[in-house]
C-alpha cells in the first residue's frame, strides 16, 4: 500500500513541476500548485498511518 501511495506522490511531484513551468497564468498556476500541495500533504499523512509491512 505504501509503495502505491509513494508512486502517486511521485506523479504529483511531476504534475507540480509541470504546473510551475507551464504557460498557465500565474494566478491559476499558484492555485493549482496549492491544490497539489494539499493532496501531497494528505497522502503523506495517510502514509504515516499505514503500518510498515514486516
**Using an 8 Å Cβ cutoff, are 19 and 11 in contact?**
no
Indicate the pLDDT class of residue 53, thresholds 50, 70 and 90. low
- CA–CA distance from 50 to each of 1, 9, 14, 22, 27 (Å)? 8, 15, 24, 34, 35
H-run or E-run covering 31: helix 26-49
pLDDT, one tens digit per residue, over 10-48 is 999 898 888 878 788 889 988 998 999 999 999 989 888
Q: Decide if pLDDT at 54 tops 90.
A: no
Instruction: Please tell me the pTM assigned to this model.
Output: 0.75
pLDDT at 38: 93
pLDDT at 39: 93
pLDDT at 35: 92
Amino acid at each position: 500500500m505504501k509503495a502505491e501511495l509513494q508512486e502517486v506522490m511521485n506523479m504529483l511531484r511531476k504534475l507540480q513541476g509541470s504546473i510551475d513551468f507551464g504557460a498557465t497564468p500565474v494566478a491559476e498556476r499558484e492555485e493549482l500548485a496549492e491544490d497539489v500541495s494539499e493532496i501531497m500533504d494528505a497522502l503523506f499523512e495517510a502514509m504515516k498511518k499505514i503500518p510498515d509491512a514486516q
